[in-house]
Amino acid sequence: MNEAGVSAFRRRGTIGIEEEYFIVDGTGRPTAGLHVHVGVDDPDMAVWVANECRWHVGLVLALAANSPYWNGFDTGLASARALIFEGLPNTGIPTAFDSYADFAAFERRMLETDAIADRGELWYDVRPHSRHGTVEIRVPDAQHDPERIAALVEYVHATVCDLCERYEDGEPASDRRRELLDQNKWQALRHGHEAALFDRGLSERVGLGELVDREADRLGVSALRELYDRESGAARQRRIRDEDGPGALRESLLIEP
């Protein structure tokens, strides 16, 4: 087991937010994502929690979808960024790992064979972060509105805390096929607030509004329902462009210094 990685997990007990801008092609055009880190003080717990968080990727992305345009054109997607970013390796929803030792062995092989230059190049939608000692959810689009960010962070934090408690209570890991989770992600990036996703048991597809109600009640996160009831980021961008033109859309996305 990687002792440095274990130590990182034991040091952390905080939550952090990171907005990352990454060049995806040779022209300097970036994608912008919101990354949320929640400290987890045990490496095996972090891996178990990250595995379970894979279902939440679709719901979080559907609520956070905020990138309908690419190079000035409407892609027809709610989150073009999520699809474009999957053109890079080591992205998307990962397979489940059996333990921290399993994850650390994978990470070590990628580093020792020069498949990646740095462990940060494992750009999966959710991952245990062995440098920071966190579980990191990386799937949301960047947001202009701090209230949207706060709601997403509150939900991710509540989710990770709930899963940590479940792990400590000895709950067995769920057995979710990645293909069904990928389908949830596609529905989320395509339709945003209008998505229908497989439920937590992957037994039926349910509208996003119903899933939001279930999660808000289960975790006591009322901000989640408020976020869903608001106009989505993608819909807002399209409305502004349709009503007032691309210049107004650009101005609406600028953040005051």
Nearest to 143 by CA among 18, 29, 38, 57: 18
Q: Can you give the pLDDT at residue 1?
A: 35
- pLDDT greater than 60 at residue 6: no
169 pLDDT tier (thresholds 50, 70, 90): very high
- pLDDT tens profile 59-108: 999 999 999 999 889 999 999 999 999 988 999 999 999 999 999 999 99
Domains of the chain: 3-253 (3.30.590.20)
Query: Which residues sit opposite 23 in a β-bridge?
Result: 30
Task: For the chain, give the percent of residues with pLDDT over 70.
Answer: 88
Cα separations (Å) of 227 from 22, 39, 110, 145, 224? 26, 24, 38, 11, 5
Q: Can you give the pLDDT at residue 257?
A: 57
> Where is average pLDDT lowest: 3-12, 106-115, 151-160, 196-205?
3-12
Task: Give the chain's mean pLDDT.
Answer: 90
What value does the mean pLDDT take over residues 13-21?
A: 49
Cross-sheet strand order for the sheet of 134-137: 15-23, 30-39, 134-137, 126-129
